[in-house]
Structure 1
Amino acid sequence: MRIALLGLGEVGGILAADLAARGWPVARAFDPARPDKGVELAAGAAEAVAGAQLVISAVTAAAAEGAARDAAPGLAPDAWFLDLNSCAPETKRAIAAVVEGRGARMVEAAVMAPVPPRRLRTPMLLGGPHAGAFLPVAAALGLDAQVFAGPLGGASAVKMCRSVMVKGLEALWAESLLAARHHGVERAVLDSLAELLPGVDAPELARYMIGRALVHGKRRAEEMREAARTVAEAGLEPLMAAATAGRQDWAAGRRAAWDGAAPLEALLDAIRRLD
């Protein structure tokens, strides 16, 4: 099976490496921002997907629909188009309209955990009318996938509603503890949170959550704007999702503060110095 990949960021790079290790090398990829990931690069998205039986889109939430439109002229009839991007259900439906307008088969994939630890085996939900037919292909590739019943967009709704909580917690940890550090009360706050969350190492969890936002804030902010769209589709004003997008954008601008070995207090001080 000829595989094409759109996007060679963290997720795309991991997929390319792990698929090749399992005997499914990516034939061609396109990512204008990353010229060398050990994969043959095409000059554009349509060229990358030409002749591919499987196209995997692993760009960013903001770029997902545009990537599908750019790739569409090169899509082969009956090709699989697996969209891994963290997007609102309405965005997934727009991508499906583009893909299926070319005769290809759109499968939405909601990636339900951080990719680096489990890499190719990161759990994902497959959605849309072609998800069941694609499941044996996913198994052959080594993906840990299951079909989410319901119309296209349902799997992404699960991911987006989850993101309101998970990315929101990252934003809350950062805002709470940076303010606490300023007032000299972070240790008391952490002790109180440890009582609220028994069995949790509050300082380590805080360091992890804040670090994830610093390293991946730009991508998370895009995802949270899609989450806000998902909330708005439900008739709710996305107060929390929109605020989280703003805090994630803010964190992205302080990426230089991240030191994977630094304790929490040092990390908080490094962020404050950048302000």
Structure 2
Amino acid sequence: MWFLACCVLLVTSVAAQQNFDCKPRPGCHLVRCDPGKGHSGSSLFSMLARNDFPITCVSRSSPSITESREDFSKSASINGVSDLKEEVEGQQEQMSEMLMDLQSLWQAIKELNAKQTESLEHDIELKKIVKELEVTNNTNPAKSVKSDFCPIRYNGSCFWVEIRYRGVNCQQAREICANQNGKTADIYSEDHYYVILAALRQFAIKYGWVDAWIGMRYQPPPINDASLADGRAAPFVKWHPGYPMQINQTCVGLLANMDWRTHNQHLVNNDATWTKRGVVCERLE
């Protein structure tokens, strides 16, 4: 029995550290299976050297080193796949955002090209109109003035723009034209209007817009429209949005914007004391 007690103590000590479940071997009662019984002179060491013991022990929870390595490898593999999946998903999201940015950029480029093409076509059309006006109205060379002093010819008259960025009122504008044997200009047709507007627009670079007095007059109600300087009905009128103002402001000016497509331009009527940045003059050839 002393041997059995030693085995129990030994197994109990080992089990305490390794978490074993120990019980009698199947078909064996501890008293009858005591290997010391019937063996006289048995020693503890000789008993321990035997392969036949009445107690069997099974590991309760601690896995073997091999199992632990396998579990660790599986866990590491699963974590690695999860990390790789997150990285791939992140890269896919970034690529999707880059694709959307590229599509937006491409659309912006297409719109810009369309606007540039439209602007170019508009400029070409204006040049054609100016050329036609010069050819049509330059049929009498004897009355023609030098081209340096006549950038625009129409209907037997010369038209040009005088800019005074400090501003001039309506009366000062008339005096500027009169000092060059001219008068403030009238508008005689739609084509003529857009040629004058384009000529004025080239001075809009400094501020993005420019305005100038012309010779047309505003006729208050019941007429409520513009006339030529001599009182005749104007052949073509294109008012700025919100104009004419139905008050006694009879001087008429022309506003030109750098962006020829905007509605923030065209004819306005103002008080004679208002100032504008220039004047459009007209002189008979």
* Range of TM-score over shorter length: under 0.3
Q: Choose 1 or 2 for highest CA Rg.
A: 2
Q: Which has the higher helix share?
A: 1
If asked which structure has higher relative contact order (CA below 8 Å, sep 6+), I would say 2
**What TM-score does the superposition give when structure 2 sets the normalisation length?**
0.21
**What TM-score does the superposition give when structure 1 sets the normalisation length?**
0.21
